[in-house]
Chains A and B, each alone.
Chain A
Amino acid sequence: MTEAEQRDFIQKKESKILKGNIAAAYAAKSARVQVISAYPITPQTTVVEKLSEFVDGGLMPGTQYIKVESEHSVMASIVGASIAGTRTFTATSGQGLFYMNEMIHWAAGARLPIVTTLASRGPAPPWNIWADYFDVINARDTGWMSAFCSTHQEIYDEILMSYKVTENPDVMLPKFVAYGGFVLSHTSKPVMIEEQDLVDKFLPPLPDEEGWEHIFIDPERPMMHGNLIMPSGFYMEFRMKIHDAMVRAKEKIKKVAEEFERMFGRSYGNGLVQEYKLDGADVGIVIYGDLALQMEQAVDELRDEGYKVGMLKLRYFRPFPEEDIRKAAKKVKVLGVVDRATAFGSPTGGPVSSEVKSTLHNSGIETKVLPMISGLGGREVTLEQQKDQLKILVKMNETGELPDDLLYGTLWHGKLEVE
């Protein structure tokens, strides 16, 4: 057996068929989180349900599980637990995240290394519980980092990597790990749950172990925190430091992904993005979340048919990997950007296509960008539709013309036909 085959063999032996939500719960367990605060909301609920089973069954000794009356209180209690010096975890979705909003800002401003998973769902009204990344995108300017997952294994892996990034003393910012509601949260696939010893070796020490580098409140060392700061005080400078930490987190994210690959054998590109068959491609597509995995299949099938297509999977929305976007854009003549989220009134399409366009502005890169919106509110995106999206880009490259039916410059793909 080659080394790769051996790894495959071990991987298979240790994997279980798990729902995405259950993979998230296992990750929190593997990370030995010490405080979980929970309030149920579809489609996240089974994450915190599974964790309550673990805690109740004695599988997470020492972990405090707090039940509260709302998502606002979830994040308030997590903020308290985190600043008291514990590793914390919670999960939410859509409206739950919106209700948490005030405390979300607090968590980032207080520089707390909280990790929260989102089984992302479309915002109401009308009520919607299915995949749509608007919820995490809506937290764009809160100071939280945000990452998307496209596979079940990635949910587990990304949560582990998250603690190593958030708890880095140079970062000290909270982070969302988002994956599509139902399409990932409730489907089941093989997931490798790693040995506890290995995970312990990979992650930083827990707050009550030696080597914890984050600040925490301690009656023995009184300090003031979160008090009123006058306009002449350091408020502006604190904000600057958050921005600086966020941008510099990119290097830490890359390093953590490298260390993760070395220890567990699973690669996530450079941590921020994953290129797929972009070399030698005429057209490329930037895509994130669940849609990215299926797009790989679409790229494969079109490559087999002779089309020169490739893709860039975006793993992080904040910090935004602008260098990697420019690098990818340089390789192709036409770049599509698929958003499973909206940015109403934006002059540049969806939330991610807006970032891509502003990243390329004034960079001297002439690549044409086509914003696309697809799969809102869990609307099914089939493999055939994704192949069609790529073919639209191929045609744009051949004719030099934009597709016909754009809505203010954006292609809304997979609409219902109205008679």
Chain B
Amino acid sequence: MKNQKRKVGKKVSENGTIEISFAGRGGQTAVTASKLLAQFVYEKGFRDAIAIPIIGAERRGAPISAFTKISKTQQIKTYDSVVNPDYMVVFDISLLQIPKFKNVIKPKTTLLVNSDKALDRDKLPQIEKIYIIDATGICIEHKFMLSSGPILNIPMLSAFGKITGFYDLNTMEKVIKEEFGDKKADLNIEVARAAFNSVKEG
């Protein structure tokens, strides 16, 4: 048996929906990132947003997918997964070797990768824009860790906000305070600021 064929139709983003795909490993907080992103843009005034985690039998370290669809102007009516992402946020560089992630990267996909050095473009599909952010390094430096490892979602989303302009640090601060309480907010925001200022083209 092979997987069902998946036709890729007209891009939904032509209707004003922006689609983001997250690639992470179990424990790297990518699923939470997909929801936080929806919260950030919604707070910033987007009309609609949906976070879609793909839930299976995840283990620490296993590859996982999550998606967020956002729109400034219209209601989002689809629940299906993103196969043609406008942005792909990669929490773990090794995932770029795995076909299920590599194959969804399209020429116009903007890639944001957790990496401390520039990527080898020869090993990647032809794309225009790649950004890198050393999210792991920032988390270690700020002791922003869980038992499973660095809490990558905050620095990754902060870098995403910087490169897209969809939201800023103030929006992040407001949502983080509501979501996690004032006490935990300070370190989150410190980490967010560090990432906001250090994301670069790669």
Contacts and interface: CB of A to CB of B under 8 A. Distances in A.
A and B bound? yes
A417 B79 contact: no
B7 A384 contact: yes
Interface in A386-419: 387, 414-419
Contacts of B3: 416
Contacts of A17: 35, 38-39, 42, 49, 51
Nearest to A300: B77
A145 interface: no
Contacts of A182: 55
Given A290-B79, A293-B77, A381-B80, A190 B49 contact: yes
Contact of B53 (A187, A380, A384, A417): A187
B156 to A, nearest CB: 18
Given A188-B50, A383-B78, A419 B9 contact: no
Contact of B1 (A297, A387, A417): A417
A3 to B, nearest CB: 18
Contacts of B35: 17, 19, 188
A333 B78 CA distance: 27
Contacts of A183: 79
B81 A380 contact: yes
Interface string B46-78: 011111110100000000000000000000111
Nearest to B38: A17
Nearest to B45: A12
B1 A294 contact: no
A184 B50 CA distance: 10
The majority secondary structure among interface residues of chain B is loop
Interface string B1-40: 1111111111010000000000000000000000100110
A50 interface: no
A382 B80 CA distance: 5
A383 B53 CA distance: 18
B80 A189 contact: no
A40 to B, nearest CB: 16
Given A17-B35, A188-B51, A384-B9, A417 B78 contact: no
B77 A294 contact: yes
Contacts of B55: 43, 182, 186
Contacts of A293: 77-79
Interface in A151-198: 182-184, 186-190
A84 B81 CA distance: 46
A132 interface: no
Given A188-B38, A293-B77, A381-B80, A415 B48 contact: no
Nearest to B80: A382
A296 B76 CA distance: 11
Interface residues of B, number: 29
Contacts of B50: 187-189
Contacts of A415: 4
A301 interface: yes
The majority secondary structure among interface residues of chain A is mixed
Given A17-B39, A17-B42, A301-B10, A187 B79 contact: yes
Contacts of A12: 47
A190 B76 CA distance: 11
Contacts of A414: 4
B79 A387 contact: no
A12 to B, nearest CB: 8
A416 B1 contact: yes
B42 A417 contact: no
Interface string A102-115: 00000000000000
Given A17-B51, A187-B52, A189-B48, A419 B10 contact: no
A387 B77 CA distance: 14
A295 to B, nearest CB: 9
A419 B78 CA distance: 30
Nearest to A130: B55
Contact of B51 (A187, A381, A384, A416): A187
Contact of B9 (A188, A383, A418): A383
B42 A190 contact: yes
A143 to B, nearest CB: 32
A190 B42 CA distance: 8
Given A187-B50, A417-B1, A419-B2, 16 more contacts: A17-B39, A17-B49, A17-B51, A184-B79, A186-B55, A187-B51, A187-B53, A187-B79, A188-B38, A189-B76, A190-B42, A294-B80, A382-B6, A382-B7, A384-B6, A417-B2
Interface of A: 12, 15, 17, 19, 43, 182-184, 186-190, 290, 293-294, 296-297, 301, 380-384, 387, 414-419
Interface of B: 1-10, 12, 35, 38-39, 42, 47-53, 55, 76-81
What are the 7 A-B residue pairs with the smallest beta carbon separation, nearest first? A297-B77, A188-B51, A382-B80, A384-B9, A384-B7, A17-B39, A188-B35
